[in-house]
A and B are shown apart, each in its own frame.
Chain A
């Protein structure tokens, strides 16, 4: 590798030897594309014409209107595909196309990354295979259908916990046999080098836009930038351009699930321990023997026992702060945004929103500007949310 792929001590590329040269080649192609004007021009044009960038930075009119906090939403939910995922799949797909790959494989949990991959698969004419845990196939049927409509093959993974982590395992196994014609479109800022760096570089457009937009709107930087963290791609995307602005707090919100003192959560950064999962030295949920544990969250997109290594580094250095939001407060935030602003957020993004609302309500007289990355829209979550709210009404 040309670069270390380390963020402090975290990161690296722990993969079977057969995949190492494949990652080396990907790194070289990525670095070449970064300094290639024609690549950057084509990507910028696709982000504008096809995906709908720049996305708006919207100042909430009603949310927390009884406080002195001004909450701004970075509207990644308005991006084509319905979430920030589209930013980076366009980048990776262009890269794969340039080096002559004909097939894409990807993992998906909630289905958002699978849909994004199927979108670019259709756009560029790739043969696309999506690995999805059997449990997720059952609970995310609308997205399974969307992927199929877009021409992708969806393979239900029945091994292990039958969720996202097993879908990644299966994609890695496929890639070990198929790398010659196949690009593995990893969906988040986790995994082996160069994925965490590559995904960050393709997602940092979120923060670059948000920083300019808040300066235009307020004439100053925000007090805090807040994003949810599962694997960590939307958070690293919105954080990166603010890292140099040391006066801006960066806050990552992990899924606290049923509570941080239960076993039902996905707080990898705060409650996990160092180890290797899916090719990176990072924090993961594991038992004393080093077996990987299952995570839990009401939000399938945050239900992952590992996390991108750069976030662990940002936590260790203190540049970013990681907190939690339970299922319950995320669901409250979901409902509140629907009712007050007419915006249906993804359950993932509702975790970030919930924490921002807490900050606003803690001291209603405190003047502060908060930027929340609204990473996706909540249409996909309708069934989950309806079941929960109907269940509560029946009690």
Chain B
């Protein structure tokens, strides 16, 4: 299946660098401002987008993204409001890969077929459902693939060989590699030893590995690329910038732009 992720990785291979993918919560702090934030990230050079659709019980998220979710929900961010924002982004940027991060309940309570039809119609390329493990995901993946939506799964540090193979088999677009235990958040030091996960995924024929969780500094991006990743996702660090500049949009945009630029710079391959 040819998709926007494949096109992006092909282009980046030519440029000898990996992808930098910022994450924000749609609707944080409001739907309108979040559209401006996303546009700022793209203008600053984001290679793809990972967007959180706010859910009341985000068990895989640490305090920073939880707080963003609360802000979004308190300001009235419904799933349909969030999808309207994403539809606008897609309309303005036909080529950028857009993934969303969500949780089981909104997907299951909508019904897989109706949900993925809506995702495809909105112009979203991939869906990562944070509490959907591969062992429960057969019908979910079939429904996503039927609508040409890429199901993305997380490859955690404790995955054994059989799980890694299953992740490789069920994932399309890119594989989300998590290199440490716990939930989303910023770390001072990126954890080492993740090249084995990346190697295992490559052996299993998984889509290109992109590292997430704890990526908050250019050095973390560079280490990920050196370890063989095709890119890095930074969430909590980006959301922190939004949070810190809530009352000054100009400063927020300047800080986001500077952050994306320096993180993107670190995606250059040295070998």
Interfacial residues, chain A to chain B (CB-CB below 8 A):
1, 12-22, 159-160, 165-166, 169, 172-173, 176-180, 273-279, 281, 284, 286, 289-292
Contact = CB atoms under 8 A, between A and B. Distances in A.
B196 interface: no
Nearest to A178: B181
B132 A14 contact: yes
Nearest to A293: B56
A160 B158 contact: no
B135 interface: yes
Contacts of A173: 59-62, 182-183
Contact of A14 (B79, B136, B155, B157): B136
Contact of B110 (A15, A18, A172, A290): A290
Interface stretch (B29-37, B101-109, B204-212, B220-228): B101-109
A178 B61 CA distance: 15
B113 to A, nearest CB: 15
Contact of A277 (B57, B79, B134): B57
B156 interface: yes
Contacts of B160: 21
Interface in B79-105: 79-80, 103-105
B154 A18 contact: yes
Contact of A292 (B105, B135, B158, B159): B105
B163 interface: yes
B122 to A, nearest CB: 15
A191 to B, nearest CB: 11
Contacts of A286: 105, 109
B26 interface: no
A111 B204 CA distance: 47
B239 interface: no
A15 B134 CA distance: 10
A contacts with B: majority SS:
mixed
Contact of B131 (A159, A276, A284): A276
Given A179-B181, A276-B105, A281-B108, A289 B79 contact: yes
Given A172-B59, A177-B181, A13 B135 contact: yes
Given A18-B156, A286-B105, A292 B57 contact: yes
Given A14-B104, A15-B133, A21 B163 contact: yes
Which of A22, A178, A289, A291 has the most CB atoms of chain B within a 10 A radius of its CB? A289
B130 interface: yes
A159 B133 contact: no
Nearest to B160: A21
A289 B107 CA distance: 10
A392 to B, nearest CB: 34
A179 to B, nearest CB: 7
Nearest to B60: A16
A179 B158 CA distance: 11
Contacts of A290: 55, 79, 105-110
Which of B61, B154, B160, B183 has the most CB atoms of chain A within a 10 A radius of its CB? B183
Given A1-B135, A17-B134, A176 B183 contact: yes
A20 B133 contact: yes
A284 B104 CA distance: 13
A22 to B, nearest CB: 8
Nearest to B66: A159
